[in-house]
């Protein structure tokens, strides 16, 4: 397995606390999955490369990914290849961190995604 744990920075945790409050979604892992998918959907490369994961929010890969862990891992490895990087364990872990944090930024910055309907609308074509 390429990823053991998922950790968040303090600013990401703070943003997710806001999103949890506005959407009513109470589970960190559910919101983090949405964030990851929103970021991976964006073809551009995240600008931030180094993120300090200094908050007390940490979850195992199994908790983060649930029963679809193989799919999330495959998506991350494919994104490595698409971005011209080898899908090594270190690269996959780094990619998860930067995409997760960019996606959390998307969740907190877009007022439409402060409600569940807006989150669904962001990923499901109308």
- Classify 25 as helix, strand or coil: coil
Burial of 93 (0-12, 13-18, 19+ CB in 10 A): middle
List pLDDT tens digits, range 42-66. 999 988 767 888 899 999 999 999 9
pLDDT, position 61:
94
Q: What is the CA radius of gyration of the chain?
A: 14
pLDDT, position 3:
81
User: In this structure, are residues 107 and 17 in contact, taking their beta carbons and an 8 Å threshold?
Assistant: no
**Residue of 50 and 92 predicted with greater confidence:** 92
List the domains of the chain with CATH numbers.
5-121 (1.10.1220)
Lowest mean pLDDT among 63-72, 89-98, 114-123: 114-123
pLDDT, position 104:
92
Q: How far apart are CA 84 and CA 62, in angstroms?
A: 27
């Amino acid at each position: 397995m390429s990823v053991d744990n998922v950790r968040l920075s303090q600013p990401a945790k703070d943003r997710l606390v806001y999103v949890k409050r506005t959407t009513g979604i109470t589970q960190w892992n559910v919101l983090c999955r949405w964030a990851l998918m929103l970021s991976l959907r964006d073809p551009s490369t995240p600008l931030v490369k180094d993120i300090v994961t200094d908050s007390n929010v940490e979850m195992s890969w199994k908790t983060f990914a649930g029963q679809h862990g193989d799919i999330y891992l495959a998506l991350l490895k494919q994104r490595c290849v698409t971005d011209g990087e080898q899908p090594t364990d270190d690269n996959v872990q780094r990619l998860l961190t930067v995409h997760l944090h960019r996606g959390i930024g998307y969740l907190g910055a877009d007022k439409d995604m402060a409600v569940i309907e807006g989150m669904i609308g962001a990923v499901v074509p109308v």
